[in-house]
Amino acid sequence: MPRPLQVPLSFDKSAAQIAAGAKLVAGGVNSNFRLGMSPGPLVFERGEGAHLIDIDGNRLIDYYGGMGAMVLGHNPAPVCEAVTRQMQSGILFAGQSMVEYRAAELIQARIPSAQRIRFGSSGSEVAQAAMRLARAATGRRTIVKFEGHYHGWFDNILWSTAPAQNAAGPSDEPVRVAGSLGQSADDGRGVDVLQWNDLAALERRLARGDVAGVIMEPAMCNQGAIAPLPGYLEGALAACRRHGAILVFDEVITGFRLGAGGAQQRFAVTPDLSIFAKAIANGFPAAAIVGRADLMDMFVDGVLHGGTFNSHPVVMAALVATQQELTPAHYDATSARGLRLRDGVAGALAAAGVKAQVTGFESMFHVAFGLDAPARNYRDLAQANKRGYALFALALLRRGVRVLERGAWFVSAAHDDAIVDQTLAIVTEAALEVAAQLEG
C-alpha cells in the first residue's frame, strides 16, 4: 500500500488568483495550453534552477521546463548576466546589432541545414515563414503535415494536431480535423494530413506532383517522444527531391535537446529548411528559420519576412549566452541524469504494476499509460490511458513534482543527481498510489 501523504501540498492561493485574474484575462491565462491540468493553472513567484515556487509557497521540482524551453534551468547566471549587459547598452534599435550576427554564427556552426538564418520571436511565426518559402520556391500550394505534429496555432496549419479518433478517419487516409472553433476551412484546403513514419503513404502523396512542402517534427515530440523508423527521414528527403517538394524539419522542441545540432544532426538527415525556438535561448522569445541559401535568399527577392521584434538585441544576448553554455560537457552530464530519471520512472511504474511505455531521449522523454508497445505514430499514442496518467501527474504534484499532463518530461542542466534521486523517491510513492486508484 502507498504510504499516505504527510502534508499534501495546497494550491488554494493559485486557484483564488486564477479566479480573480479571469475578470481581467480570459480564463485567467494568456495561452490555452496553460488550461486543463489538475487541480488547475498555477501562479508562480519565481524560478530557481530546477524549481518553481508558486504563490502558495510550494517549491516544486519542475519538469515542464517552460514547455521545453528551459534547457539550462530557471535563471541561469550566464544568461541573466548577458541580458543585463545588453539592456544597459540598448533594448530595441529598429536596425541591426552585432549580437545578432554572433547569434547567427553560433547557429550556423551547429545546425547542418543553416546555410542562411532569419530570426523571429516564436515557433508559430517561423513555421509560417517556412511554408511561405516552400510555396514561393515551387509555385505550388499544398503543404503536407502529419497527425499529432504541431506547427503553431495559425488557421492554415492547426489541423489534426490532436484529433479525436472518431473524427480522424481511417489511418491510411486521415481526415483533416480543425484544432479550434472559428478556424477558417478555406485555409485548410492548402493542407493534407498523413500518418507519420509511413514512407509509402508519403511517396504516394508526393507522386501527385502538387506538394509545395512537407513539414514534420523529425522526432515526434509534441505528442509523445517517438523516434523516426530506420530509413524514414532519409526516404522522406529522397521522395521530396524526386517530386520537387521542400522538406521542412520543425525542431522547435528537438532543437538543442536531442543534441547541439538538433535531430537533423543526430539522425544525419539535412532538410531544405528547419525551424527552431524554445531551448534556443532558454526561455527568451527567440525563434529561427534556417536553410538552404537559395531558398533563404528569396527573403530579399520578393518573399516577405518581417517583425518588429525579430533579432531583438536582448533576446539575441540570451541566445548567445545559452548556446555558449550548451557544451559537450553539458550534454554528457544532462544526458546521464536524464537517462537515469527516464529509466527510474519506468522501473517504478513497472514495480507498482502500472502498465506504461516510457520512451524518448536523454533530456526529453514521454510516459504513456496503458500501451503494450512503444507508439510509432499518433494513432498508437491515442490509445493511451490519459485519465490514468493525469491521476499520476496530480499525485506527483501533490508531492512537489510538476510534470505535464500530456506525458512529456523535460530535463535541464539544473536537475542534478540529488534532484533526480528526490524525484524518483516521489515517483515511487505516486506510482503506488495511482496503481491502487487504477485497480479500484
Dist CA 74 CA 46 (whole Å): 9
Q: Of 54, 56, 62, 250, which is the active-site residue? A: 250
Q: Are 283 and 66 in contact (CB under 8 A)?
A: yes
Among 23, 29, 74, 31, residue whose Cα is nearest residue 49:
74
Q: Are 258 and 335 in contact (CB under 8 A)?
A: no
Q: Of 150, 232, 331, 389, which is the active-site residue? A: 150
Q: Which strand ranges, in their side-by-side order, compose the sheet holding 211-216?
A: 116-120, 287-291, 273-276, 246-250, 211-216, 142-146, 191-194
Dist CA 148 CA 2 (whole Å): 35
Q: Of 278, 331, 378, 389, which is the active-site residue? A: 278
pTM of the full predicted structure? 0.95
Dist CA 369 CA 405 (whole Å): 11
Radius of gyration (C-alpha) of the chain in whole angstroms: 22
150 catalytic per annotation: yes
Residue 63: HSE in the Cβ half-sphere, 13 Å Cα cutoff: 30
Q: How many Cβ atoms from other residues are within 10 Å of residue 76's Cβ?
A: 22
- Report the relative pairing of strands 59-62 and 51-54 from DSSP bridges: antiparallel
Class of domain 77-325: alpha beta
- Report the relative pairing of strands 287-291 and 116-120 from DSSP bridges: antiparallel
Dist CA 113 CA 218 (whole Å): 13
250 catalytic per annotation: yes
- For residue 165, the model assigns a pLDDT of 85
Phi-psi region of 329 (alpha: psi -120 to 50; beta: other; left: phi over 0): alpha
Residue 300: phi and psi, rounded to 5, are -110, 15
- For residue 7, the model assigns a pLDDT of 64
The domain locations on the chain are 12-71+327-439, 77-325
The grid coordinates of residue 418 equal: 540529488
CATH 3.40.50.2020 fits 12-71+327-439, yes or no: no
Low-confidence ranges of the chain (pLDDT < 50): 1
101 catalytic per annotation: no
The grid coordinates of residue 196 equal: 507519420
